[in-house]
Each structure stands twice: as structure tokens, then as C-alpha cells.
Structure 1
Amino acid sequence: MKLIMLGTGNALVTKCYNTCFVFENQNQYFLVDGGGGNTLLSQLEKAHINWQDIKDIFVTHKHIDHLMGIIWMIRMIGQHMSQGKYQGEVRIYAHKELIDIIMQMVHLVLEAKHTQFINKRIYLIEIQDHDSHMIINHQVTFFDIHSTKTKQFGFQMQLDHNKKLSCCGDEPCHQINEAYIQNSDWLLHEAFCLHSEADIFHPYEKHHSTVKDACQLAQSLNIQNLLLYHTEDKNIKQRHALYMQEAKQYFQGNIWIPDDLDIINIQ
């Protein structure tokens, strides 16, 4: 399975795209979040992924840097369905509050000929804490991250050979969810900035982590591979080197600090 990072930045970045990514398994695609706009379509094109091949989508929460690209996806899917140019169905997973928001938005901003397929071929599937679904031939279990800002879900994916991948969304792992995270072969975790620059970016005021925080958590929970995303972009060309330098002080496993459009083999 491959993980394609369409975007790696936080809400305010301009030198990279907002965090969203795609899992690819045997020509099946699972999109997680959509970033802040139709740049999602550009990133998919650059990654050589046909957006029509994405049949499963998960939206973590309502913040615009995660949601707005999904509205564009629904618009494109609905338009092509209305023209008879789209094959099959698409499933969008989200919690109830978020589904309600998506429904309100699409009916406000999209044409009826595009929204007519909702609940017919475009399925909005409500998820609750601990719900599991088979997605791209892997069991995915969703969990409430217990955000103090807005309701948000993360997920755990069962990989081949009894391995697992966990994703905490874009906030630090809550203690109540450590059972999902502990001993994961892969952990996808936000790292808003370097710990040495916390006084510049103020991650704690935004309920985010530093590189040091994420690495200490991963070390304590016996993570094998740690992927850091949802970062600032002040010095994007040096981000990998700077984050890696700090990360290695606190985490002994494999560290991944991807750029937009990087492809990681998940094994």
C-alpha cells in the first residue's frame, strides 16, 4: 500500500498545501480530507491520481483547511454523474454534525442537478466512535479524538501481516485513545512547529503539538514509524532537515517528514 501526501501544511500555509492524503491499494483509493479548496484537484493531477477513481473519502472535521476540497470533490462527482461520465458510487465518511454541515453547504452552493445524486450514488455515511468499515480491502476503525475545539475523528487501519496504522487527525493524541495508538507500526501525527520555535508559532494555544511533543508520545507508545504533518511553512526548504534534527533527539524509530506529493510505501 502507498500513502500519497497531497498536502502537509496547516491552515495558514502558502508554500505548500493544507494537510490531506490518499491511500492507494491495488488501484483502489481512500482520500483523507481535502484541504482548503480546488487545489486538491491540482494535487491529485500532479500525483497522477484520477479523482474519479477515489470511491472512499473520510472527512476528519469541519475546519475549512480540511473540508473545502471535499465540496469541490462533490461538485465534480455530481457534475460528471449528471453528464453520464462517472462510473459507480462514492462513499463519504464523517460524523453526524459534519454530515449536516456538508449537506447544508452543498445545497447552498451547488446546483440541484449536481446534488440530486446525494444518498443515491453519493453516500454520506455517519460514523460514530469505534465504528469499523472495510475500505480499500482494509478494516478501518474510526474514533473520536475528544477535541476541545471541534468534534473530530481519527482512525486506525489494519494493515497486512497483523500490522496497524493510526492517525490522530490534526490534534495531539488524547490519553483515552492510546489503546488505538499504542504499538502501531505507523503513526500519523501533527507537528505544528519545532519545539524550539514554540514561542513564535504558539502551538498550544491552537491545541497542537511540537515536533518534540509528537516524538515523545510516539516513543512512549512504542511506535515503529512516525510521520509528521500539518506543519508551518516558514522555512519550507529546510523543514525536513530542521524537524529531523529535533525529532531524532526524542524518538528512536523511523521518522518521516514528507513534502507535498511525496509517496511513502506502507509495509
Structure 2
Amino acid sequence: MKLTMLGTGNALVTECYNTCFVLSDGNDHFMVDGGGGMTVLHQLKYAGLDWRQMRTIFVTHKHIDHLLGIIWMMRMICQHMREGTYEGEATIYAHDEVIALLRDLAGKLLQKKELPFLDSRLHLIAVADGEEKTILGRKTTFFDIGSTKAKQYGFCMELGGGEKLTCCGDEPYNECEKQYAEHSTWLLHEAFCLHGQADLFHPYEKHHSTVKDAAELAESLGVKNLLLYHTEDKNIARRKELYTAEGRQYFHGNLFVPEDLEVIEL
């Protein structure tokens, strides 16, 4: 399996794209979030990924930097279904509030002749806290991260051999996630900024973490590989270097601070 970061930034970045990514196993793909607009199509193209092959999609929550790219994916899918240039079906998973919002936006924004493909070939499926699905041939459990802002779900995918990948969404870890995050082979966690720049970026006011916070968390949970995303972009030229240096002071596993379009072998 491999992970392709389509975007690595927070909601207001201009030097990179908003955080979203694709998990791939051969020709099977699992797309997580879509960023804030049609740039998701650009990112997929330049990552060497065919948007038509994004047949399974998960939307973590309703914030525009995660949701609006999905509207473009829905438009492309339904339009090409109507034109006869998209074969088969596709599925979008999310919690009930996001599914309801996607339905509402589709009804308002997509062409009427494209709407019949919703639920007939493009399936919008609400998942509950703790619900399991088989994705990329692996048991995947969706869970509520306990956000106090907008209802948000993460997921935990069993990789085989006792290994697992856990995505905690874009907010700091909560104890309700422990059964999924603890002893993860891969933990995907947000890190809004360097701890030394917290006074500049105010992560806690925005319900986010610093690199130090995320690194200490991963160390305490016995994580093997920690991947940091959803960052500020003012340090973009040296982000990997600076974030890695700070994180390694507190986390002794493998630390990844990817750039947009970077591919990581799992």
C-alpha cells in the first residue's frame, strides 16, 4: 500500500493545498477528503492518479477546506456518468450530517440531468460511530473524534499482521479515540505549527496542536510511524526540516512531514 498526500495545509493556506490524501493498493484507491475546491483535480492529475479511479471516498467533516473538493468530484462523476464516459459505480462515506449536506448541495449545484445518478450509481452512505466497512479489502472502522466544533469522524484501517493505520481527522486526539490510535503502526495527526511559534499561530484557540504536542502524543500511545499534516504554510520552504527537528525531540519512532504530492510507502 501507499499513501499519496494531495494536500498538507490547513484551511487558509496559499502555498500548498488543503489536507487530503489517497490510500492505494494497486489499482484500488481510497480518497479521504477533497480540499477546498477544484484544485483537487489538479492534485490528482499531478500525483499520477486518475480521478475516475477514486471509487471510494470518505469525507471527515463539513468544513469547506475538506468538503468543497468533494462537490467537484461529484460533479465530474455524475457528468461523465451522464455522458457515458464513466463506467461502474462510486461510493462516498461520511457521517449523517455530511451526507445530508452533500445531498443538499448536489440538489442546488448539479445539473438536474445529473441528479438521477445519485444513489443509483453514486452512492452516498452515512456511517455511524464504530461502524465497520471493508475498504481496499481491509476492515475499516469509522469513529467520532469527539470534536467540539463540527461533528467529525476519523477511521482506523487494519493493514494485516496486527498492523493498523489510524486517521484522527484534523483536530487534536481525544481519549475517546484511544482504542483506535493506541499502538497504531501509522498515526495521521494534525500539527498546526511549531511549538515555538504557538504565540504567532495560536493553534489552541483554533482547536489544533503543535508539532511537540503531536509528537508527545504519539510517543505516549506507542505509535510506530507518525505523519503530520494540516499545517500552516508560512514555513513552507523549511517546514519538513523544522517540523522534523522539533518532533524528533519528543517522538522516537519514524516521523513523516510530507509535502504536497509526496508518496509514502506503508
Structure 1 segment 122-141 matched on structure 2, within 5 A? 122-141=122-141
- Kept in 2, the 8 Å contact 1:78–1:113? The answer is no
Q: Deviations over 1:140-181 (max 9, x none)?
A: 100000100000000000002221000100001111111111
Question: 1:115 Cα shift?
Answer: 1.7
**Residue in structure 2 matched with residue 156 of structure 1 by the alignment:** 156
- Residue pair 1:142, 1:155 contacting (<8 A) in 2 also: yes
Residue of structure 2 equivalent to 1:39: 39
- SS of equivalent residue, structure 1 residue 49: coil
C-alpha distance in 2 between matches for 1:178 and 1:14: 33
Task: Look up the match of 1:186.
Answer: 186
Structure 2 equivalent of residue 13 of structure 1: 13
In structure 2, C-alpha distance between the alignment counterparts of 1:255 and 1:21, rounded to whole Å? 17
- Structure 2, unaligned stretches of length 5 or more? none
The whole-number CA distance in structure 1 between the counterparts of 2:36 and 2:120 is 26
Give, as a single letter, the amino acid of the residue that structure 1 aligns with 2:38.
Answer: N
Query: Which residue of structure 1 aligns with residue 231 of structure 2?
Result: 231
Question: How many Å apart are 1:64 and its aligned residue?
Answer: 0.2
1-structure distance, mates of 2:116, 2:129: 29
Q: Counterpart of 1:113 in 2: which secondary structure? A: coil
In structure 1, C-alpha distance between the alignment counterparts of 2:113 and 2:256, rounded to whole Å: 43
**8 Å CA contact retained: 1:139, 1:158:** yes
Cα separation, 1, equivalents of 2:2 and 2:114: 31
Q: How does 1:1-267 map to 2 (within 5 A)?
A: 1-266=1-266
Per the alignment, in what secondary structure is the counterpart of residue 5 of structure 2?
strand
Whether the 8 Å contact between 1:128 and 1:142 is mirrored in structure 2 is yes
Letter in 1 for 2:169: G
Take 1:264 and 1:80, find their aligned partners in 2: how far apart are those partners? 31
Q: Distance in 2 between matches of 1:114 and 1:29?
A: 24
Q: Distance in 2 between matches of 1:247 and 1:115?
A: 47
In 1, Cα distance between the equivalents of 2:5 and 2:177?
Answer: 24
Q: Distance in 2 between matches of 1:234 and 1:116?
A: 44
Secondary structure at the aligned position of 2:3 is classed as: strand
Amino acid paired to 1:15: E
Instruction: Give 1:263 deviation, angstroms.
Output: 0.2
Query: Share of identical aligned residues, percent?
Result: 58
Letter in 1 for 2:135: I
252-261 or 109-118, larger mean C-alpha shift: 109-118
The TM-score with structure 2 as length reference comes to 0.99
How many pairs are equivalent?
Answer: 266
CA distance in 2, matches of 1:264, 1:20: 14
Superposed CA deviations along residues 86-125 of structure 1, whole A, max 9, x for unmatched, are 0110010011111111111111111011221011000011
Q: TM-score, normalising length from structure 1?
A: 0.99
Q: Distance in 2 between matches of 1:86 and 1:250?
A: 48
Deviation at 1:54, TM superposition (A): 1.1
**1:32–1:60 contact (8 Å) kept in structure 2:** yes
**What one-letter code is carried by the residue in structure 2 that aligns with 1:122?**
L
CA distance in 1, matches of 2:157, 2:255: 19
SS in 2 for 1:99: helix
